[in-house]
């Protein structure tokens, strides 16, 4: 697919969310701002939630938001990419386009939303007196690995969804369960030792933990975890691409 076409899809996907509204694209800033403020006010001011071993008033809110923001980008990318071939069938059946590149506009659109939310979050950290560690420069690298993983899963599920339409509903259920099996709203230290052992099999912990390391604990992410995530992502992507090459004609006929 031509890059200009991907860019056009991305532009439409992002702008059509707010088409017809008076404030238009301003809503892309308002919603993240409102959500972050709600989390901070409820958990820090009303509930007084704090992280163990940390005295900061906003420690738990920072922990929650720093995990929730990348999770939303990840889960939205996977769930939306998993239906992209069916959603864009009117284009696939008329134009000879590169199917593997089609989910890229979803990755880019979700990345714009992520970037806007992240900027608002960082501004809050600065104005609330929370110092930013130099490891923040690693954020683009962590996000890139996260979205490669999301794209790989989304591309794989998009192929399956052409032939098994229940995949869309299954992805929704899996994403919901996956969220609660990932330490985003809770700290892994509160769990029994027996349960902790199973978290090594959760790939989302690899990148969510990296955001927590950067924003909450102020140190570099575990690079071994990022290497594992990289290898896993490329394994899934390679498998999905091989499956796609064998089923490409069927995908275009059945979509």
pLDDT band, residue 2 (cuts 50/70/90):
low
Q: What is residue 160's predicted lDDT score, i.e. its pLDDT?
A: 96
Mean pLDDT of 227-235: 96
Q: What is residue 75's predicted lDDT score, i.e. its pLDDT?
A: 94
Q: Measured between alpha carbons, how far is 63 from 58 in angstroms, rounded to an integer?
A: 9
Number of domains in the chain: 1
pLDDT band, residue 234 (cuts 50/70/90):
very high
Q: Measured between alpha carbons, how far is 153 from 234 in angstroms, rounded to an integer?
A: 10
Mean pLDDT of 213-233: 93
Q: Which two tokens stand for residue 251?
A: 């995908």
Q: Measured between alpha carbons, how far is 92 from 240 in angstroms, rounded to an integer?
A: 19
Q: What is residue 114's predicted lDDT score, i.e. its pLDDT?
A: 93
pLDDT digits (tens, 9 = 90+) for 115-137: 988 998 898 888 877 878 889 99
Query: Do the Cβ atoms of 67 and 208 come closer than 8 Å?
Result: yes
Mean pLDDT of 221-243: 95
Is 148's pLDDT higher than 90? yes
pLDDT band, residue 94 (cuts 50/70/90):
confident
Mean pLDDT of 148-153: 97
Q: What is residue 25's predicted lDDT score, i.e. its pLDDT?
A: 60
Mean pLDDT of 234-239: 96
> What percent of the chain has pLDDT above 90?
49
Query: Do the Cβ atoms of 69 and 114 come closer than 8 Å?
Result: yes
Tell me how long the chain is: 255
Which tops the pLDDT comparison, 97 or 57?
Answer: 97
Q: Tell which residue, 226, 243, 68, 237, has the closest CA to residue 151.
A: 237
pLDDT band, residue 93 (cuts 50/70/90):
confident
Q: What pTM, to 2 d.p., does this model score?
A: 0.90
Is 47's pLDDT higher than 80? no
Report angle CA 146, 150, 156 to the nearest 5 degrees.
150
Q: Tell which residue, 119, 131, 120, 117, has the closest CA to residue 56.
A: 131
Q: Measured between alpha carbons, how far is 79 from 26 in angstroms, rounded to an integer?
A: 25
pLDDT digits (tens, 9 = 90+) for 162-217: 999 899 999 999 999 999 999 998 888 877 777 777 777 899 999 999 999 999 98
Query: Do the Cβ atoms of 209 and 222 come closer than 8 Å?
Result: yes
Angle between helices 59-81 and 27-40 in degrees, nearest 10? 140
Residue 159 structural domain: 3-254
Q: What is the mean pLDDT of the chain?
A: 86
Q: Tell which residue, 142, 159, 127, has the closest CA to residue 242.
A: 159
Q: Which helix (H) or strand (E) holds 32?
A: helix 27-40
Mean pLDDT of 16-33: 66
């Amino acid at each position: 697919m031509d890059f200009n076409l991907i860019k056009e899809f991305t532009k439409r996907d992002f702008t059509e969310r707010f088409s017809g509204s008076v404030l238009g694209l301003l809503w892309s800033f308002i919603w993240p701002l409102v959500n972050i403020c709600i989390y901070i006010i409820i958990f820090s001011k009303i509930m007084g939630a704090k992280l163990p071993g940390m005295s900061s008033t906003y420690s738990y809110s920072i922990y929650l938001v720093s995990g929730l923001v990348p999770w939303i980008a990840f889960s939205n990318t996977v769930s939306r990419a998993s239906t992209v071939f069916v959603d864009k069938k009117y284009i696939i059946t008329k134009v000879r386009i590169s199917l593997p590149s089609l989910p890229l506009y979803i990755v880019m659109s979700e990345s714009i939303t992520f970037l806007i939310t992240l900027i608002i979050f960082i501004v809050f950290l600065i104005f609330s007196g929370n110092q930013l560690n130099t490891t923040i420069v690693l954020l683009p690298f962590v996000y890139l690995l996260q979205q490669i993983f999301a794209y790989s899963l989304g591309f794989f599920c998009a192929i399956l969804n052409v032939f098994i339409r229940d995949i869309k509903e299954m992805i929704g259920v899996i994403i919901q369960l996956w969220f609660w099996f990932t330490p985003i709203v809770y700290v892994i230290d509160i769990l029994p030792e027996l349960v902790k052992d199973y978290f090594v099999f959760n790939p989302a912990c690899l990148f969510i933990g990296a955001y927590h390391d950067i924003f909450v604990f102020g140190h570099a992410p575990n690079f071994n975890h990022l290497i594992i995530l990289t290898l896993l992502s490329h394994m899934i992507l390679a498998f999905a691409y091989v499956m796609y090459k064998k089923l490409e004609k069927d995908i275009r006929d059945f979509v």
